[in-house]
Structure 1
């Protein structure tokens, strides 16, 4: 008896015989179903991620701090109330962690209190003013609140204020700026400057969280050290 050359000698299965069409259809249907399931899973992941991102951005917007810097002379027309003020206002919706505050003159840090005061008034005016109201600028500032690191009430010095602001003793507050860096509770951070008059600029960080750079606190320390020397 001759053996069909197209049959497997051990199983007798015809090797040339094509799979039944119904089997091929089931394979195609299973493959299509698997691909659809994979596509649906992928779309679900993308949608979930987009939803999470949107919810996160919504939460960030609800606690977004915005620091506005005020600096200059107030109540100029009323000698008894005239004052030079530096004030930081949180006009946003959330707590601001103010980490760095630096007065600048022509872009360079003002590192001494004497240099700062020489930029905002002449020395004769300063001699007619008592101790200013002072406070640290760095720290946590709630929404809708303000902190005033420096306030000089003019008093007797108010008699020269008009002449000072007219430039009779030089350019008033020549090149003076305030640079502030602050973060939200989500650790998103921004910088803002008084002279820029622009929206706060996003930055990666304000430096080391536990080491604030507050030049107004430095001025307080310098004053305390000077008193101890007297």
Structure 2
């Protein structure tokens, strides 16, 4: 039998083993992959922080005081709210005009004249953080109480709004918290 030279014999035995260079290469590859994962996680955390920094929070409330009755819309968040649409429903029926809701509530003979109450257009545009708008107000008198009591039971003012990052919510005077939704319906 012929003998192999010593160098050839060592090479045959080392074929199944990793060299120190191979170990270092594998270790560098593992660290690179770990660095990539950390970078992705950090990017997601920064994105979430950016969204939180401009989070709008629309609140719709009814106010009663010695001056009268009002429905107030406020952005209590830290970022602007892009108002997409507003819906007014009374006793299950949707209305396009607030005047018609007043007529449905009080009847034609008791309805307020246009000079007595005021409204604001809120169904489009941007509401800044800490901005407040009076959607409807009327001075206090006997029929105001009837309107307020009826609206307390049956009026639903609902606003769909989005952040600058296109995250959207539906707020209502019937709920305590806005509900996150995928997108606002087209007008």
TM-score, normalised with respect to structure 2: 0.80
The residue that corresponds to 2:157 in the other structure is 178
Q: Which runs of 5 or more residues in structure 2 are unaligned?
A: none
1:159 aligns with 2:145: no
The residue that corresponds to 1:87 in the other structure is 72
Q: C-alpha displacement at 1:193, in angstroms? A: 1.4
- SS in structure 1 at match of 2:82: strand
Q: C-alpha displacement at 1:68, in angstroms? A: 0.4
Q: C-alpha displacement at 1:18, in angstroms? A: 6.2
Q: What CA distance in whole angstroms lies between the structure 1 residues aligned with 2:138 and 2:53?
A: 35
The residue that corresponds to 2:101 in the other structure is 116
Greater per-residue strand proportion:
2
The partner residue of 2:175 within 196, 203, 211 is 196
Q: What CA distance in whole angstroms lies between the structure 1 residues aligned with 2:92 and 2:20?
A: 70
Q: C-alpha displacement at 1:62, in angstroms? A: 1.4
Q: What CA distance in whole angstroms lies between the structure 1 residues aligned with 2:142 and 2:173?
A: 27
Taking a change above 3 Å as real, the CA distance of residues 62 and 69 of structure 1, as seen in their structure-2 partners, is same
Equivalent positions of 1:1-230 (< 5 A) are 19=11, 21=13, 27-71=18-62, 74-75=64-65, 78=66, 81-83=67-69, 85-127=70-112, 130-137=115-122, 138-154=124-140, 158-162=141-145, 164=146, 172-173=150-151, 174-197=153-176, 199-208=177-186, 213=187
Q: What CA distance in whole angstroms lies between the structure 1 residues aligned with 2:90 and 2:143?
A: 23
What is the Cα-based RMSD across aligned positions, in Å?
3.2
Q: What CA distance in whole angstroms lies between the structure 2 residues aligned with 1:134 and 1:160?
A: 18
Identify which of structures 1 and 2 has the higher relative contact order when contacts are C-alpha pairs closer than 8 Å and 6+ apart.
2
Q: What CA distance in whole angstroms lies between the structure 1 residues aligned with 2:172 and 2:130?
A: 19
Taking a change above 3 Å as real, the CA distance of residues 21 and 135 of structure 1, as seen in their structure-2 partners, is same
Q: What CA distance in whole angstroms lies between the structure 1 residues aligned with 2:94 and 2:147?
A: 23
Q: What CA distance in whole angstroms lies between the structure 2 residues aligned with 1:131 and 1:161?
A: 11
State whether residues 119 and 172 of structure 1, in contact with CA within 8 Å, keep that contact through their aligned partners in structure 2.
Answer: no
TM-score, normalised with respect to structure 1: 0.66
Taking a change above 3 Å as real, the CA distance of residues 195 and 119 of structure 1, as seen in their structure-2 partners, is farther
